[in-house]
């Protein structure tokens, strides 16, 4: 059973998502918070498996909330669920510590799939968002490689993470173990001076 918390000031939307989640086998909505302040107060103690986080909220926005929440409870995985798909917000959210980025117009079945992927270590993104990330990867590739000295295999792993693949999917595609993927990621994080896979992807791809 994957537990989910919602952070969004649109009350009707939250209730609709909660009802859908609770009616889906293997998922349950643990809590709903309508402000970043309430989320920061309660989520570290509630310990949901995955948080669905909006960006545009009154007061503190969702990106700053992600940054503070990851500092307080780094084990909590956060999936952005928003209407925004501009490159700046995508990279700010990933750099803050979000594990995925989904648009609110996504099909409900895609939402459940994305929640499961985040819970299993993936970095799911809506198609249009993934295309922006991959495009930024292609534009920044030569410069980033020169600056960070990443190996071709490390570049490949970051590229697959940027496409939203989970560890086990990357391991299957490259013909290596999940533990080897984790070893590569530890070295990547050391080279890029970051703490997580999403920070690594965001820093490496940022133009």
pLDDT digits (tens, 9 = 90+) for 50-89: 999 999 998 899 999 999 999 999 889 999 998 887 777 8
Total domains in the fold of the chain? 2
> Are 78 and 104 found together in one domain?
yes
Rounded to an integer, the average pLDDT of 117-128 is: 78
Residue 111 has pLDDT above 50, yes or no: yes
Last residue of a domain, one of 77, 92, 126: 126
> Are 103 and 180 found together in one domain?
no
Residue 43 has pLDDT above 90, yes or no: yes
Mean pLDDT of the chain: 84
- Going by pLDDT thresholds of 50, 70 and 90, the confidence category of residue 127 is low
**Using CA atoms, how far apart are residues 159 and 180, in angstroms rounded to an integer?**
16
> Are 71 and 136 found together in one domain?
no
> Are 110 and 147 found together in one domain?
no
> Are 22 and 116 found together in one domain?
yes
pLDDT recorded at residue 146: 45
Which 3 state secondary structure label does DSSP give 29? strand
pLDDT recorded at residue 141: 52
Last residue of a domain, one of 78, 99, 126: 126
User: Residue 117 has which token pair?
Assistant: 């992927």
CB 203 within 8 A of CB 197: no
> Are 91 and 184 found together in one domain?
no
Tens digits of residue pLDDT in 149-180: 788 898 888 888 877 788 888 999 999 998 89
pLDDT recorded at residue 87: 75
> Are 101 and 134 found together in one domain?
no
Owning domain of residue 196: 130-205
> Are 119 and 149 found together in one domain?
no
Within the chain, residue ranges assigned H as helices are 11-22, 36-46, 62-72, 87-96, 108-119, 127-148, 152-162, 167-174, 178-192, 197-205
> Are 119 and 138 found together in one domain?
no
The count of other CB atoms within 10 Å of the CB of residue 141 is: 16
> Are 159 and 76 found together in one domain?
no
Last residue of a domain, one of 87, 108, 126: 126
> Are 190 and 101 found together in one domain?
no
Rounded to an integer, the average pLDDT of 140-148 is: 50
pLDDT recorded at residue 195: 72
Q: 181 to each of 156, 164, 165, 189, 198, how far by Cα in Å? A: 11, 15, 12, 12, 14
pLDDT recorded at residue 48: 96
pLDDT recorded at residue 136: 57
Q: What percent of the chain has pLDDT over 90?
A: 41
Domain of 71, CATH number, reads 3.40.50.2300
> Are 103 and 13 found together in one domain?
yes
């Amino acid at each position: 059973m994957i537990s989910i918390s919602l952070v969004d000031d649109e009350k009707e939307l939250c209730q609709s998502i909660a009802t859908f989640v609770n009616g889906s086998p293997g998922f349950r909505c643990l809590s709903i918070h309508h402000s970043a302040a309430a989320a920061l107060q309660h989520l570290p103690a509630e310990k949901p498996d995955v948080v669905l986080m909006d960006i545009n909220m009154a007061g503190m926005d969702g990106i700053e909330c992600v940054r503070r929440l990851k500092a307080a409870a780094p084990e909590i995985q956060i999936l952005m669920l928003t209407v925004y798909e501009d490159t700046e917000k995508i990279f700010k959210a990933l750099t803050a510590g979000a594990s995925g980025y989904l648009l609110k117009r996504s099909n409900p079945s895609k939402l459940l799939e994305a929640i499961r992927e985040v819970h299993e270590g993936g970095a799911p993104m809506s198609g249009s968002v993934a295309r922006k990330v991959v495009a930024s990867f292609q534009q920044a590739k030569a410069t980033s490689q020169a600056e960070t000295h990443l190996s071709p295999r490390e570049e490949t792993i970051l590229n697959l993470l940027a496409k939203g693949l989970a560890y086990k999917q990357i391991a299957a595609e490259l013909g290596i173990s999940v533990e080897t993927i984790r070893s590569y990621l530890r070295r990547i994080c050391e080279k890029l001076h970051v703490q997580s896979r999403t920070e690594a992807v965001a820093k490496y791809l940022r133009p």
